[in-house]
Structure 1
């Protein structure tokens, strides 16, 4: 037996139901949707959990539990390749200068520099967090790294 000999078991595969293909097809006229009503219309679907206007179960039950989501630290990520493109030799790279350069937008708790790409310029980097590879590459190019709390 080879791959080209494999076939599904007899009766395992069914033809696709061809609805709306004439009265004699058995699925003509209303195409198996019955007569009138919301479910007979196009786009007429009842969302999951809807109970016909009755207060749904998920709203009848009390809220339980606790989530730490509001306490998580949101990190803004900047790659070395971006720093190399946007900053001149001897520039100071901190959160404020990153925002001015358009590399950090929105609200973040931490700004982290990652080591993707190469850096050829001498930069003074002052950020909250930095990867080991990024620190190594910056110092190799003659720059300095200071972590601020």
Structure 2
């Protein structure tokens, strides 16, 4: 999908925001929803999506970027604390050529430990529900 393509209100994250699809929510405020990636690259891999219908960072209104990034930072602190991570990998893709596969703006937050490699984006297997629920509880308790 091209960077300037129109927003598709039927993408999976839009459906999650409308409550039409389930997610393992770890945080929500007025501007974002954060939930676990069910195909995590590492334990605790969390996605933060704006409630605004933005395809990518270029389509989020400028005035919404600051509040959204403040929420991303708040979630990142909780993820780091929950996993006692030595580092965090935080990334965001824009457009198909940039690696984006779901065309609703989202930021990935992945807790990292020295010497532990990430699984490939989109190549990691689906995590088991019990592990995800344990990770969800740990992140929610860290706020």
TM bucket (normalised to shorter chain) is under 0.3
TM-score (norm 1): 0.20
Which has the bigger relative contact order, CA under 8 A and spacing at least 6? 2
Higher helix share: 2
TM-score (norm 2): 0.20
